[in-house]
Amino acid sequence: MDKLISLEPSKMVAIRVEPGERCRGELTLRNVMHTMPVAFRFQPQNPSHYSARPQTGIIPPLAALTLEVVYHLPTGCPLPDSLPHSDDSFLLHSVVVPGAGVKDAPFSLDSVPLDWFTAKKKQVFTDSSVRVVFVGSAVLARLFSEVNTSLEVVREVLERSDPEWRAADSIDPDTGETLLQLAVARGRPDLVQLLLEFGPDLESTGRSGWTPLEAAAAAGEALMAELLLARSASVSRSPASALGPLHRAAAGGHTEVLRLLLGKGADPDEPAADGSTALRLAVEGRRRACIELLLAAGCRVDARGGADGDTPLHVAAAAGDEATARLLLRRGGLACKGARNARGLTACDVAAERGQGRRLLDALGLGDRLHAAARKGDAAAVRRLVEAGAAVDGRDQHGWTALMRAGFKGRVGVMRALLEAGAAVDAREGEGYTALHCAVEGGQAEAAVLLVKRGADVGATTAKGATAMQIADELGDVHIARILAQGGAAVATSGEKAASRAAGLAAEVAAATKEGKLSRAVATATKEGKLTRAAMAAQETEGAEKARSHREKKGFRTKMAAKRSSDGGLSERGGWPAVTCSH
């Protein structure tokens, strides 16, 4: 027989250290003798730091007794550097009760004569291997604060803690943060994973009001966020927090975390405490990748938030972020442009107030008004808008410039105003059309004359290789074809086809003159090899009518004609609503 008493749960006394509480632990002594009581004495090697109650006693056969071990931590003294273990130990002496022969001997505490434990009288068993291990929130917080904390040491402390203590939910007494938050702050996904094995409260916020997932999102810790999400951490903002996980990821530009959150069903339009959305925060931080992720997730582009009631477009306008503003406009359209903040200002107003550049002002609203004025033929409005900052070569949603639009509608006064302001006469839209192509397509002879006089490239081709002359020829607009020919269009055509077209035109002009369908001014201009504005005006009505008739007979529909019939923006009365921008 090598012992009379077994120690439970082990030879380690787990002493719990909590702020403002007694540092204590328990150790159970079990009598392994079947028929005889056993007396014990339990002594700390360092009595100034530890005490035990009871120190002595008698344990009946096969019975157990629990001791309380108290650690007297001096005020202001730190815990041992050897945490969680201690160099301190205890001595356990045990002896069979002298003369005992009954199994039901009563417990007798702190009344055992000390001379029972002297080897002179009988065999005394001594165990000096009883050690101390410290557990509790203060211990765990100390371990988590160390740079190279051992995972196994933390595991030992958690496993030796009573499950009722919920050690994994411990809070650092100094910072007020949970262990999960400390692990995130230290960039330790291994500690996060270990804590998750012990079932911590994933929504516990600590002193900061942040949940662990919010902390991981703010730090851009994608792996830790994924671990938390795998345990069903909430993707929503906690009531105590100003910003939710989605807001923090977007504001910090953490695209991987943002993608994880959206993939787990996070609401892209969830408001922060002040009403701001994740999109607004991403725009404030110029987080382009996050902006695109949120837009792809279907977030509202015109959502107002914050005390100022700004939309994301207002924020981009105030910052002069043209690239982001254009991205938002592509997704939000007019609802975005027309939205007003708490002061009643549109994004265009805000940009003008901040003195932002012409390109941004044009994108935010002045460009729309410029195109509307060009369509309606309001040259005075065109001049005012250009002076206010509208880009003279700004594009509409189809890629048209105001000069193209004015050319298509025959607004010659507007065209002059635009050209005087520096409009590019040969600017092209997406399919290669220039203002001259547009004027020819619209049957606008006077517009074509002006463009040719201002140096328009009569040989310019569209993406499909069509010149303005070919369009006029297809539409049967003889007078416009003559204008182009006099402007040098024949140079841009291939040999035999150019000669054939010229011959055909000459025949048509001669026949029309003979029949009296062309005025003398037109005939004279044709003979002299030039076409004056007066001659063009004289033939305009009849020539346009003939061109329209030719279109109807051939069923011709070009890209521009299709836009005119299908897009309200090209109609005389249609178009986009004017966006108020008072500057």
Vertex 171 angle, CA 174 and 197, to 5°: 145
pLDDT classification of 574: cutoffs 50, 70, 90? very low
- For residue 20, give the CATH number of its domain: 2.60.40.10
Q: What is the pLDDT of residue 123?
A: 85
- State whether 185 and 119 are in the same domain: no
What is the C-alpha separation between 376 and 576, in angstroms, rounded? 12
What is the C-alpha separation between 480 and 175, in angstroms, rounded? 82
What is the C-alpha separation between 377 and 372, in angstroms, rounded? 9
pLDDT classification of 508: cutoffs 50, 70, 90? low
Q: What is the pLDDT of residue 578?
A: 36
**How would you write 4-18 as a 3-class SS string?**
CEEEECCCEEEEECC
| Cα radius of gyration rounded to whole Å, the chain | 44
- State whether 124 and 226 are in the same domain: no
Average pLDDT over residues 259-275: 96
Burial 496-529 (b: 16+ CB within 10 A, else e): eebeebeeebeebbeebbeeeebbebbbebbeee
- State whether 312 and 261 are in the same domain: yes
In a domain, 475, yes or no: yes
- State whether 19 and 126 are in the same domain: yes
Other C-beta atoms lying within 10 Å of the C-beta of residue 227: 21
Q: What is the pLDDT of residue 113?
A: 85
Q: Is the per-residue pLDDT at 334 higher than 50?
A: yes
Q: Select from 117, 135, 153 the last residue of a domain.
A: 135
* Torsion, Cα of 559, 564, 568, 569 (10° steps): 80
- State whether 182 and 252 are in the same domain: yes
Average pLDDT over residues 101-105: 47
In a domain, 193, yes or no: yes
In a domain, 366, yes or no: no
Average pLDDT over residues 429-449: 94
Higher pLDDT pick, 174 / 574: 174
- Three-state SS for 126? strand
In a domain, 400, yes or no: no
Q: Is the per-residue pLDDT at 315 higher than 50?
A: yes
- Three-state SS for 501? helix
Q: Is the per-residue pLDDT at 536 higher than 70?
A: no
Q: Are 436 and 457 in contact (CB under 8 A)?
A: yes
Q: Which amino acid is it at 102? A: V
For 9-54, what is each residue's pLDDT tens digit? 889 999 999 888 889 999 999 999 999 999 999 999 999 899 999 9
List the beta bridge partners of residue 349.
none
In a domain, 382, yes or no: no
Average pLDDT over residues 73-90: 80
- State whether 122 and 169 are in the same domain: no
- State whether 231 and 168 are in the same domain: yes
- State whether 172 and 115 are in the same domain: no
- If one counts the domains in the chain, the total is 3
- For residue 260, give the CATH number of its domain: 1.25.40.20
- State whether 127 and 169 are in the same domain: no
Q: What is the pLDDT of residue 357?
A: 76
Q: Select from 322, 342, 360 the last residue of a domain.
A: 322
- State whether 224 and 108 are in the same domain: no
For 214-251, what is each residue's pLDDT tens digit? 999 999 999 999 999 999 999 999 999 999 999 999 99
Task: Please choose, from the candidates 139, 144, 18, the residue with its C-alpha nearest in 3D space to the C-alpha of residue 83.
Answer: 139
- State whether 119 and 252 are in the same domain: no
Q: What is the pLDDT of residue 514?
A: 55
- For residue 455, give the CATH number of its domain: 1.25.40
Q: How far is CA 504 from CA 204, 501, 507, 512, in A?
A: 87, 5, 5, 12
Q: What is the pLDDT of residue 467?
A: 94
Percent of the chain topping pLDDT 70: 80
Query: Where in the sequence is the domain holding 235, given as residue range(s)?
Result: 163-322
- State whether 167 and 282 are in the same domain: yes
Largest CA-CA distance found in the chain, in angstroms, rounded: 152
Length of the chain equals 583
In a domain, 315, yes or no: yes
In a domain, 263, yes or no: yes
Q: Select from 91, 119, 135 the last residue of a domain.
A: 135
Q: Are 219 and 187 in contact (CB under 8 A)?
A: yes
Q: What is the pLDDT of residue 20?
A: 83
pTM for this model (two decimals):
0.66
In a domain, 313, yes or no: yes
